[in-house]
A and B are shown apart, each in its own frame.
Chain A
Amino acid sequence: MGEVIVVTSGKGGVGKTTTTANVGTGLAMLDKKVVLIDTDIGLRNLDVVLGLENRIVYNLVDVIEGNCRIRNALIKDKRYPNLYLLPAAQTRDKNAVSPEQMKKLADELRDEFDYILMDCPAGIEQGFRNAIAGADKALVVTTPEVSAVRDADRIIGLLEANEIHETYLIVNRLRMDMVKRGDMMSSDDVTEILAIDLIGIVPDDENIVISANQGEPLVGSDSLAGRAYMNIARRLIGEEVPFLNLNERNSFFSKLFGRRK
Chain B
Amino acid sequence: MRLTDFFKKKGTGSIAKDRLKLVLVSDRAGCSPEVMEQIKNDIIAVISKYIEIDLEGLDIKITQTESELHNGPVPALFANIPIKDMKASKK
Contact = CB atoms under 8 A, between A and B. Distances in A.
A146 B12 contact: no
A145 B16 contact: yes
A92 B11 CA distance: 46
Interface residues on A, range: 10 to 19
Contacts of B8: 181-182
A145 B12 CA distance: 11
Contact of B13 (A150, A153, A154, A183): A183
B13 A179 contact: yes
Nearest to B20: A146
Nearest to A189: B17
Interface in A108-165: 144-146, 149-150, 153-154, 157
A185 B13 contact: yes
Nearest to B8: A182
B13 A189 contact: yes
Interface in A170-191: 178-179, 181-186, 189
Contacts of B10: 182
Interface residues on B, range: 10 to 19
Nearest to A194: B24
A193 interface: yes
A182 B17 contact: no
B14 A150 contact: no
Given A145-B16, A185-B16, A150 B24 contact: yes
Contacts of B91: none
B90 interface: no
Contacts of A178: 13
Contact of B24 (A153, A183, A186): A153
A145 B15 CA distance: 11
A144 B11 CA distance: 14
Contacts of A153: 24, 27-28
Contacts of B23: 146, 150
Interface in B54-86: none
B20 A157 contact: no
B29 to A, nearest CB: 11
A193 B12 contact: no
Interface string B1-44: 00000001011111011011101100110000000000000000
Contacts of B16: 144-146, 184-185
Interface of B: 8, 10-14, 16-17, 19-21, 23-24, 27-28
Interface of A: 144-146, 149-150, 153-154, 157, 178-179, 181-186, 189, 193
